A and B are shown apart, each in its own frame.
Chain A
Amino acid sequence: MSTIPEILFRDVTKRFRAADPPVLQSIDLTIERGEFVTLLGPSGCGKSTMLKLVAGLEPITSGQIQVNGLEPRHARRLVSFVFQEATLLPWRTVERNVALALELEARTREDALETTGRLLDLVGLTDVAQSYPRALSGGQKMRVSIARALATKPRLLLMDEPFAALDEINRDRMNEEILRLREASSWTVLFVTHSVAEAVFLSSRVVILSPHPGRIAHTISVDLPYPRTATLRETPEFDTLVNQASRLLREAHRV
């Protein structure tokens, strides 16, 4: 019914200091509710900065950003951020790490723990609920981080290379898991990666950025139907899209 886009970039430019060259220049991008959009590009193209702008963690220099029609800072209740590292609190158990966001938003402890139990079940970490982060593997830590992000029932997930530190097997598995989790709810995702295969596997749309300054170079629609499973990676359609994206990425980098 509503035609308000979930995220709207209108001619956005970002400089960290007035004298510096822009990190992002003239970004125009509209993301509709329920899309899974991946920002793909080499390091230094400003893709992480775009997430920080949407989260309202960095001010924009010029232009306009809206999240569900609101200024980013006022839309934070709708949004969760998943960082590149798991960023867990080492002094809290897994369970209480997941409950953190709920505590900060002043839910009661019982309410928080109930939601937490359900989420740990969802990401398959019930067994380690009482463990401390240092006892977990990289993949498990990231799962806790994702569970924590989902705890506040966000409409929009911002994910900044969340699986970059994982090995390929774990990364593929987490990719499948993210899509599985998304089946149940219908969050919009803005995802950052520099892995072409990951971008194609996850997204409904891949946005390729070129560096210095960061600009949108190309946009690819990934018309592969959801639900997607591991076997998708073996299809020729998948290969074609990965090859196409790789080529465009190389071109964008050369400019």
Chain B
Amino acid sequence: MKKNLILAANAVVVFAALLCVWQAAVWVLHIPPYMLPPPVNVGHAIANRFPELWASFWISGEAAAAGLAGSIVGGLLIALIFARLPWLRRMLFPYTILLQTVPIVAIAPLILMWAGQGLFAVALVTFIICLAPIIANATQGLISVDTNLLQLFLMHNASQGQILRKLRLPHSLPYLFVGIRISSGIAVIGAITGELFAGSTRVGQGGLGYSILYAMAQLQTDYLFALVFTATILGFSFFFTVMFFEWLFLHKWHESARSEGNES
């Protein structure tokens, strides 16, 4: 507990020091605010344009959440099929790596061309980059079940359905969460990338990606910084939401989710 407080205090001190250096640099070096606005200006931008930032936060958040949720459902379904049909897994698994390595900025315009400009298209971009880590980790979880446990189930004449529900799925849960955690970080990136190409997804408003383009065009550098700050907050929210669910599902039984300070 005390250790955590010290860590938190550390983080605050470092952050404050950073802001001071930034502010001083702008003053001393006479950097024009359109190149690098001082932190005070960024603070003003956050306060003055809060409604717009808030709206962008939710628009991007929605698209990222929809894409991530879709990739969890879709990825798990694909993993179930892969776990069931090893020949299909061997045949298609290399392509999931392809899915991971193709640069999203390169295919986002294509997706938007095909799927239109709306929220759906942005969520689809997110879905595509979130899918691979979930497939890979969930499949690993489903197939790495202990042989003895499997034999135990067979000894009691368990059906395939029982083996899936009572053994493979719960066993794969920690693996699945590793996948979701990785994907939650890139979900926000996916949504913003999608929005860079999609433009406004709602009348008169847009997500973070859209607003970033707008701020850049208008040379509103302080607003741009405020948007970067908002995007970071959005990424954090995703990460911590996933961490919370991971803790909720795993803390009672799984070693990885053991509360800190407990490890010896």
Residues of A within 8 A of B (CB): 52, 55, 57, 76-77, 79-81, 83-85, 87, 89-92, 100-101, 103-105, 132-134, 152
Q: How far is the CB of B56 from chain A (nearest CB, A)?
A: 40
Could you tell me the distance between the alpha carbons of A89 and B155 in the complex, rounded to whole angstroms? 15
A-side contacts of B170, CB under 8 Å: 89, 91
How far, in angstroms, from A132 to B251 measured CA to CA in the complex? 11
User: CA of A104 to CA of B155 in the docked complex: distance in angstroms?
Assistant: 10
Contact check, B253 vs A81: say whether CB atoms are below 8 A apart. no
What residues of chain B lie closer than 8 Å to A133, measured between beta carbons? 253
Distance of A107 from chain B, by nearest CB (Å): 11
Q: How far is the CA of A100 from the CA of B255 in the complex (A)?
A: 22
Report yes or no: A87 in contact with B148, Cβ–Cβ below 8 A: yes
Q: Nearest-CB distance from A109 to chain B (Å)?
A: 13
Q: Provide the residues of chain A in CB contact with B255, threshold 8 Å.
A: 134
In the assembled complex, the Cα of A168 lies from the Cα of B154 at a distance in Å of 32
Please choose the segment from B21-29, B117-125, B156-164 that sits at the chain A interface, where 4 or more of its residues have CB less than 8 A away.
Answer: B156-164
Given the known interface contacts A90-B253, A132-B252, the answer about A76 and B155 at a Cβ–Cβ threshold of 8 Å is yes
Q: Is the CB of B253 within 8 A of A132?
A: yes
Does B157 lie within 8 Å of A76, measured CB to CB? yes
Interface members, chain B 145-187 (any A CB < 8 Å)? 146, 148-149, 151-158, 162, 166-167, 170-171, 173
* A23 CB to nearest chain B CB (Å): 17
- Is A134 touching B155 in the complex (CB atoms < 8 A)? no
Q: Which residues of A contact B171 (CB under 8 A)?
A: 91
Chain B: CB-nearest residue to A151:
B156
Q: Name the B residues within 8 Å of A134 (CB-CB).
A: 253, 255
Number of contacts between A and B (CB, 8 Å)? 56
* Most central of B149, B155, B170, B252 by chain A CB within 10 Å: B155
Residue contact B157 to A104, C-beta cutoff 8 Å: yes
**B84: Cβ under 8 A from any A Cβ:** no
**B254, CB-defined interface residue at 8 Å:** yes
Shortest distance between the CB of A150 and any CB in chain B (Å): 13
Contact: B148 with A105, CB < 8 Å? no
Could you name 21 residue pairs across A and B whose Cβ atoms are closer than 8 Å?
A55-B155, A57-B154, A57-B155, A76-B156, A81-B151, A81-B152, A83-B151, A85-B148, A87-B146, A87-B149, A87-B152, A89-B170, A90-B253, A91-B173, A100-B156, A104-B153, A104-B156, A104-B157, A132-B253, A134-B253, A134-B255
**Chain A proximity of B245: nearest CB distance (Å):** 15
Query: With contacts A90-B254, A132-B253 known, is A80 near B155, CB below 8 A?
Result: yes
Bound-state CA distance A81–B146 (Å) is 15
Given A76, A80, A85, A103, which contacts B166 in the complex, CB threshold below 8 Å?
A: A103
Task: For the A-B complex with A76-B156, A83-B152, A104-B156 known, give 10 more contacts whose Cβ atoms are closer than 8 Å.
Answer: A57-B151, A77-B157, A80-B155, A81-B151, A83-B151, A87-B149, A91-B254, A100-B166, A104-B157, A104-B162
Q: Which residue of B lies closest to A77 (CB)?
A: B157
User: B153, B156, B254: which contacts A152 (Cβ < 8 A)?
Assistant: B156
**Chain B residues near A52 (CB-CB < 8 A):** 151
Interface residues of B in 126-154 (CB under 8 A from A): 146, 148-149, 151-154
Question: Top 5 nearest A-B pairs by Cβ distance?
Answer: A104-B156, A132-B253, A87-B148, A83-B148, A91-B253
Q: Is the CB of B149 within 8 A of A81?
A: no
Q: Using CB atoms, name the residue of chain A closest to B159.
A: A104
- Which residues of A have CB within 8 Å of B167? 89
Q: How far is the CA of A100 from the CA of B166 in the complex (A)?
A: 9
Task: Give A151 to B34 CA distance when docked, in angstroms.
Answer: 75
Contact partners of A55 in chain B: CB under 8 A: 151, 155
The interface residues of chain A lying within 8 Å CB-to-CB of B153 are: 104
CB-defined contacts of B254 to chain A, threshold 8 Å: 90-91
Chain B residues whose C-beta falls within 8 Å of the C-beta of A87 in the assembled complex = 146, 148-149, 152
Q: Which chain A positions have C-beta within 8 A of B149?
A: 87, 89
Known A90-B254, A91-B170; judge A105-B156 contact (CB<8 A). Answer: yes
User: What is the CA–CA distance of A87 and B152 in the complex, to the nearest angstrom?
Assistant: 8
- Closest-by-CB residue of A relative to B254 is A90
Q: Give chain A residues whose Cβ lies under 8 Å from the Cβ of B166.
A: 89, 100, 103-104
Task: Select from chain A the residue with minimum beta-carbon distance to B151.
Answer: A57
Instruction: Report the nearest B residue to A79, measured CB to CB.
Output: B155
CA distance A57 to B166 in the complex (A): 20
CA–CA, A133 to B154, complex, Å? 22
Please report the C-alpha to C-alpha distance between residue A85 and residue B149 in the assembled complex, in whole angstroms. 10
Specify which chain A residues have a CB less than 8 angstroms from the CB of B156 in the assembled complex: 76, 100-101, 104-105, 152
